[in-house]
Amino acid sequence: MTNEVKVLITQYVNEKGVLKDDSKKEIVIKAMRPYQFFAITKVLKTLINELNADENINGALVGLFDTVEEGMDTKDLLSALSAQFVKDSAGSIGLLLEVAPESALKLISILSDVHPDQLELQEMDTFFDVVDAIAEVNDLAKVVERVKKSTKSFQKSLKWGEKVTQATLSPVN
């Protein structure tokens, strides 16, 4: 994994309601930070809820993700979708762009730290250069596995904490 990737984007300004090419700006795509992970998790959860609520989209998605099974909880579903995203980044982004373009743009914006308004004005090659850079610096499968591992550890410590609380609140005989 590369630590960072630089991408040259066009910076646009709004002058009296007209968007103008202002300058070129080099952005640096870095490995995901916790605030980005939490933000994309929120976007993905909202997206999953929207997709599940839309019968037409829900029906169209059946069978597209082999790792997704009926009855999966949100955490497992997010893990499966993230793993599939890593496996076939272009296909997953393509699907997101097709069924939920706003969500795809929001995810890319979060992971690139570039405002969605600026991203959507880029040439397609530049836009996908940003997507490719995100994939290059982030081992999303590794992040998902680490989240699972840490969640299990945290859950164990919470159970231990419950026992300590129960022991300290129990009346002494």
Determine how many CB atoms are found less than 10 A away from the CB of residue 144.
Answer: 20
* pTM, to two decimals: 0.65
Determine how many CB atoms are found less than 10 A away from the CB of residue 140.
Answer: 19
First-to-last C-alpha distance (Å) of the chain: 59
Among 116, 91, 114, which Cα is nearest to 103's? Answer: 116
Among 19, 39, 10, which Cα is nearest to 103's? Answer: 39
For 61-97, how does the pLDDT look when each residue is reduced to its tens digit (9 = 90+)?
554 455 555 565 656 666 666 555 545 444 555 566 6
Number of H helices, E strands in the chain: 8, 2
Question: Domain map of the chain by residue range?
Answer: 31-152
